[in-house]
Amino acid sequence: MTNHRFSYFTLFTLFTLFSNIALAQTTDNNDSKAIEKIEVTGSYIDGYGAHSASGASRLDLDIFDIPQSVSVITSAQMQDFQLNDINDALDSATGVNVQRIETDRTYYTARGFDITNFQIDGIGLPLTSGNNHADEDTAIYERVEVIRGANGLMTGVGNPSATINFIRKRPTAETQAKVNATVGSWNNHRIDADVSTPITDNIAARVVAVKQEQDSYLDRYEQDKTLVYGFVEANLTDSTKLSFSHSYLDNKAKGNNWGALPLFYTDGSATNYDTSTNTSADWSNWTVIKNNTVIELSHYFNDNWSLRSTYSHKTTDEDTELFYVFGTPDKETELGLTGYGSEYDLDDEHNLFDVYVSGDFSLFNRDHQVVFGLNYAKMSYTDSSLYDYTTGNGFPPITNLNTWNGNTPKPTFADALTGSDVQTKQKAAYFTGRFNVADGLHIIAGGRFNEWQAQGTSYGVLQDVNNDEFIPYLGAVYEFMPNTVAYASYTETFVSQTQVDINDNILAPITGESREIGVKRQWLNDSLITSLAYFDIEQVNVAIIDPATADFPIAAQRYIGADGINSNGFELDIAGQLTDGLQVSFGYTDFDIDGDETVKAYTPSQLLKLGATYQFQQWDQFSVGINMRWQNKTSRDQGVVGEGFTNAGDTITTTQDAYSVVDLMARYQFNDAITLTVNVNNATDEKYINSLYWAQGFYGAPVNYNATLSWKL
């Protein structure tokens, strides 16, 4: 695909076009004075427009009133395009880049920095290793909130990239049930059920279950996923509510890769394998079991003041047998690669407790909001790695990846036991207030005192860390004309690091500052919201992989602190109902990174996301839609060509040209209960490398299809 540069003029034109359409309809609506307006409240978001985002603060605020860039992936969008795992869902989020480095390990970035803060209903800890393992199903979530930029008030430590907040499904006031059955390419078979019902006048429950089995476009790769989720909620009194929930996820993968394809030959030219090429052995497997229990208690003291406390217990158990391929192949013979087997096991446990009081008060004849909270979190993990240095099966030669069928003797994993035993603690106290200082002007001010401790060892390296920091937050929102606000926000960032350098010394913490200004507008009786933001971020001492160890196995890789990294740019976000029957989610991000040329090269700096569905007005049973993402060209320097070639000494650069992935949808509603949805993914059959985050990579899925039959009560 041609690498088009989206200009600021283009963005201004798009923003103006959407604004004019919406303004014209707003005028039409205002002329219809006789129409009675009925306000309906509830948890379900119908369409692509959302009003609130609870992960941005503990304040009861609309997105319109939050001085940061916020977007929401609604249940409607997830259902329309079968965004059944979080990677597919976040592919649709403005400004988020999903870095699929392997089949079962994924990094996420925004504004040039890794996203490590993932929350469930506003509660969470940074990812243990900065990445997500295995598949995470979206069936239990009502929506996914993406709060871009630093979010020091609610997350404490973390990068100024984004916070992803998953809002879970909860029991409903009336009985409802829905079952989806999906069949698709590569023997994809999935069934999911969602049932909610009152049990008594004061107790209600909701249960979600998923079973999915599928092969893959990748040779030998297949998945078997089981998910069960239950949520029980009880009104103990008129003012006190208690809930208990638990989710269980069992994800079994076979033929998964560890590492990925080599991207260049010894002469520096690019490899070009079949999309289906996989480096896995036929015995490779990766099983991940996750359990999450959450207990919530909320109490209303009166109409203005309330308390909410949450306890979360989450465990992860991983058992793997992995096969890595390293080296650089010769272009003529395809020789030069070697296999590397390992057994890896992980046990991870998170315990989190959060309690806060929120309320309204009057001062100087104006109403204000405040929140005071305490947070305690403890995480411990142990992992181990075993290898085979004695039988000869631990490092077999790979003759030719083009004909590789994964058939290699399974190693005897009994050598060189290494691993980690690490415990971390986070203690925090936070406060924030929204102060109505003048007509149309609100100031949000607060801060969080955060203490972060870690101790233990990881692969023989001491992990002891003890840091504390006060993180201030200041924001302002001014409604300078009806339904239009300008906003600004400032916060500092702080991240304790456990990565070690080439000398096995722990890197110092990351510190920095994050600023953002923008404008938001609501249209069409709040059914459409547009926002345009400019951000400027400065960070120092960000850990990146030491280039000298980039080709090493994961356990042997070391890091360096990249001083002076900063990122600045803008984001445009449009979400909601543009006109009758037309739901739109549009996002465009354009930014620059300074201070680290490697990160700058492999990070897409221009991202465009578009999701849209149209329900025909004359034939309202039929809907069509498009979900697409586009990114600009990325690259990665891979060293220099060795001796013996005419171009010896030339820089080897892997380049992924700009590309787009287009998904299509058509749905027919037979009656109130039964609906058929057909999805075509990567409709143009684009071939692309998923990520250059690492020196290796593998290709994205080619064109594929699925059909979903839905029944609801």
Q: What is the pLDDT of residues 648-674, one digit of tens each?
A: 999 999 999 999 999 999 999 999 999
With 0-12 CB in 10 A as exposed, 13-18 as middle and 19+ as buried, what is 204?
A: buried
CATH architecture of 8-634+651-712: Beta Barrel (2.40)
Token pair in block for residue 333: 């013979």
pLDDT tens readout for residues 8-30: 333 433 434 344 434 444 444 44
| 123-137, 157-171, 456-470, range with greatest mean pLDDT | 157-171
- pLDDT of amino acid 549: 87
Please check the confidence at residue 55 and state whether its pLDDT lies above 70.
no
Nearest partner of 156 among 126, 133, 132, judged by Cα: 126
- pLDDT of amino acid 67: 92
- pLDDT of amino acid 155: 61
CA atoms within 13 A on the CB side of 322: 25
Distance CA 204, CA 11 (A): 47
- pLDDT of amino acid 550: 83
Task: Give yes or no for a contact between 103 and 53, defined as CB atoms under 8 angstroms apart.
Answer: no
**What does the pLDDT average to over 296-312?**
95
Nearest partner of 530 among 572, 488, 501, judged by Cα: 572
DSSP string, 649-700: TPEEEEEE--EEEEEEEEEEE-SSSEEEEEEEESTT----BS--SSS-B-BP
- pLDDT of amino acid 97: 96
Distance CA 665, CA 12 (A): 29
Greater pLDDT, 126 or 22: 126
Greater pLDDT, 210 or 1: 210
- pLDDT of amino acid 640: 96
Q: To which H or E segment does residue 8 belong?
A: helix 8-31
- pLDDT of amino acid 3: 43
Dmax (CA) for the chain in angstroms is 85
Please check the confidence at residue 547 and state whether its pLDDT lies above 80.
yes
| Pairing label, strands 162-168, 117-120 | parallel
4-18, 135-149, 331-345, 406-420: least confidently modelled range: 4-18
Confidence of residue 429 (pLDDT cuts 50, 70, 90): very high
- pLDDT of amino acid 26: 40
Confidence of residue 168 (pLDDT cuts 50, 70, 90): very high
Confidence of residue 157 (pLDDT cuts 50, 70, 90): low
Confidence of residue 154 (pLDDT cuts 50, 70, 90): low
409 CA to centre of own chain: 37
- pLDDT of amino acid 31: 41
**What does the pLDDT average to over 99-127?**
89
Neighbours of 511 (CB within 10 A): 15
Greater pLDDT, 238 or 53: 238
Greater pLDDT, 43 or 352: 352
Q: What is the pTM of this model?
A: 0.89
Distance CA 373, CA 353 (A): 11
pLDDT tens readout for residues 76-89: 999 999 999 999 99
Nearest partner of 487 among 61, 18, 20, 25, judged by Cα: 61
Domain ranges (residues) in the chain:
8-634+651-712
Greater pLDDT, 58 or 640: 640
- pLDDT of amino acid 18: 40
**What does the pLDDT average to over 103-112?**
94
pLDDT tens readout for residues 173-208: 999 999 999 999 999 999 999 999 999 999 999 999
Please check the confidence at residue 326 and state whether its pLDDT lies above 90.
yes
Distance CA 569, CA 564 (A): 17
**What does the pLDDT average to over 32-61?**
55
CA distances 532 to 520, 570, 574, 582, 598, Å, are 7, 7, 9, 21, 28
- pLDDT of amino acid 542: 73
Residue 482 makes CB contacts below 8 A (sequence gap 6+) with none
Identify any residues that bridge with 455 across adjacent strands, giving them in sequence order: 423
